[in-house]
A and B are shown apart, each in its own frame.
Chain A
């Protein structure tokens, strides 16, 4: 019963992660992806109201396994938060990786805002090292789009489906 009630508090979003690509920059794993249909009317209303509104991207680094579940190696969260200033007619967009601010910018129109919140381009999300196993790696991403209520009182977190990136190999650190 507890499981059913907990399951009831999860909701599937119509939005989806697309064009997910993982690339290596030395030891860093860069993630690029788009969130299609992420800012719907509900989220747009919330942003326009001036409330700080976040899209929370959950990222997981996995070791690919062919005939079994992939092995998760690391996880991180990328939060894109927008705050609208109705007087100044600007949107402040803050990008935080695991709670640490990595970028802030101000945009003036909805299109730019949507791009800033839903297009992630080559953001370093993981750092590989000596402990990274050999073999094929991939990253998995899903977006958390806030919550809504079911039957007026059951809160339900809205998530997209998990999306897998291309597989890549980590050659290891070059010898000094």
Chain B
């Protein structure tokens, strides 16, 4: 691989890693910020219903995404395993390991953290703080009740006094005011006022109290007092009133006169009392929101867990893919190469040792391909050379074979000519002998030409159902007692017959093989013809001719089936070429091996459809 490609891939991988890290950082920064800020946020906001629902729906989406990612990859892996795709088992194990290694600890952590959180929240609310605050609040309320009770009693007393004064007469007003002043001092009140309906009749204030102006009790308050006979209010400090003021109003329905008595609480006591009540209320708020608080924390935990799960699953799948894809490609490459496709290259990007492995693999296949091409070229050249040599040999042999009969023909003709020139009286006998020789040699030549001609015009096989056992037996009988001491045997299995072959051609092949076998075997020896079928239901047919003769040297075996090639130094050299042609015309094959312990075995394999 070129340096530039390597560098490019390295940079791409770096970018992917950096991008992933940046995404994680971006994800966890706001989460961390939120968790830090969450401590300062009011409980009401954390337990806000909208926030809860948003968190819940985010979690639902995350659950769906995680389930989708995991299920999609699981189904893909299962389908790959079912289809026995190379490397799928390894991929499945690797992905399961990666995902399991991230899934299990994250889930364990989530459940432990959840239990801890639930326990912690329960413990917070199981402290003795609650009853303390409740009792404090009760005391505070009792204090207010007491103040209000006193104010009501004082207001009632004042109402009784006011009832004796005719308020309709304006001359009585100074008397009313005086009486109110006396009652204010006597009852130790800070404010005393008389209303007719919503209208103020008279009011007095304790100058020592700090109240600078008469606070407006409000229409609602006065109407409630007129309607119900009494009303009470606790006013917070406001303009003109320096502290909490308890106002108690009484009337005698349906009378319009209302007396309002006001008691200003000691600021310190009022503030602390109010604080006790507010503290208890704050605690109640927390308790009311306990479930929502717990839910929001759980949902935040769940969200972070799911995000980690999603990230780790994705990373696991990505890493598994980076390992398994190159290995899968290498395995497929190996299969392609073993299937003979030397042009196959692994085109998958990988780093580290896997990248080196792919490079080595591709280099190896390149070398294999070039070696194969060189070998094929050499083979072709060799075959060409062998063919040329065979033709040379055939030409030499044909010349020799033709020359052999020509010499006696020439000699006979010369002898007849010489006798004729000498006027030899034995010319007639000489002519008779000479013509005999010439005719015999010409017939030899003719037979030889016929043999060549037959080889050249050998017809295509016409298969029929043949009793192979009988064919072998008949053929062997031709050689019976031909060579004393050479035993002939036939071993034809039952399943070999009938055979769908061209009986005549196979018989001829057997004769050619038996010619050689018998000739090569010296007594005592044995020639065996055996036949068997691979299996009874149409398997290929195997016919073997084995002898215990002198054998064939390995150097001659390659050229054995070439036409006009002979190791015997005589004959046409067409016998084995004809056998080879018959077998190949039957779409079969023939091989030659050493026989054990000595001799040669020719094995013809004819395909099932044919056999």
Contacts and interface: CB of A to CB of B under 8 A. Distances in A.
Q: Do the two chains belong together in a single complex? A: yes
A9 B56 contact: yes
A88 B49 contact: no
Contacts, number: 77
A51 B288 contact: yes
Given A50-B281, A86-B281, A155 B52 contact: yes
A45 B53 CA distance: 22
Interface residues of A, number: 26
A85 B295 CA distance: 27
A49 B52 contact: no
B53 A155 contact: yes
A153 B305 CA distance: 14
B53 A87 contact: no
B219 to A, nearest CB: 12
Interface centre among A5, A48, A51, A155 (most CB of B within 10 A): A155
Nearest to B285: A49
Interface string B233-260: 1101000000000000000000000000
Contact of B295 (A45, A88, A146, A153): A153
A87 B274 contact: yes
B60 interface: yes
A89 B277 CA distance: 10
B536 interface: no
Contacts of A149: 52, 291-292, 294-295
A105 to B, nearest CB: 8
Interface string B268-299: 00000010011011101101110110110011
A155 B56 contact: yes
B292 A9 contact: no
Nearest to A52: B44
A45 B285 CA distance: 9
Contact of B288 (A49, A106, A154): A49
A146 B50 CA distance: 11
B288 A146 contact: no
B277 A152 contact: no
A147 interface: yes
B302 interface: yes
Nearest to A4: B60
B284 A45 contact: yes
Contacts of B63: 5
Contacts of A154: 56, 295
Interface in A36-70: 45-46, 48-51
B353 interface: no
A6 B60 contact: yes
Contacts of B481: none
B71 to A, nearest CB: 11
B291 A51 contact: no
B295 A9 contact: no
Contacts of B284: 45, 48-50
Nearest to B55: A155
A152 B56 contact: no
Contacts of B278: 86-87
B287 A49 contact: yes
A88 B118 CA distance: 35
Given A5-B60, A146-B49, A152 B294 contact: yes
Contacts of A146: 49
B139 interface: no
B389 interface: no
Interface string A1-38: 11001100100000000000000000000000000000
A108 B292 CA distance: 29
Given A86-B277, A147-B49, A153-B299, A2 B60 contact: yes
B67 to A, nearest CB: 8
What 9 pairs across the A-B complex have the smallest Cβ distances? A49-B284, A153-B298, A155-B52, A49-B285, A50-B281, A149-B295, A49-B288, A5-B60, A86-B281
Interface of B: 44, 49, 52-53, 56-57, 60, 63-64, 67, 118, 137, 144, 220, 233-234, 236, 274, 277-278, 280-282, 284-285, 287-289, 291-292, 294-295, 298-299, 302
25 contacts: A2-B64, A5-B63, A45-B288, A49-B281, A50-B285, A51-B289, A86-B137, A86-B278, A86-B280, A87-B236, A87-B277, A87-B278, A88-B236, A89-B234, A147-B292, A148-B291, A152-B291, A153-B56, A153-B295, A153-B298, A153-B299, A155-B53, A155-B56, A155-B295, A157-B49
Given A51-B44, A87-B236, A152-B118, 12 more contacts: A46-B288, A49-B288, A50-B285, A84-B281, A88-B236, A146-B49, A147-B52, A147-B53, A149-B52, A149-B291, A152-B298, A155-B52
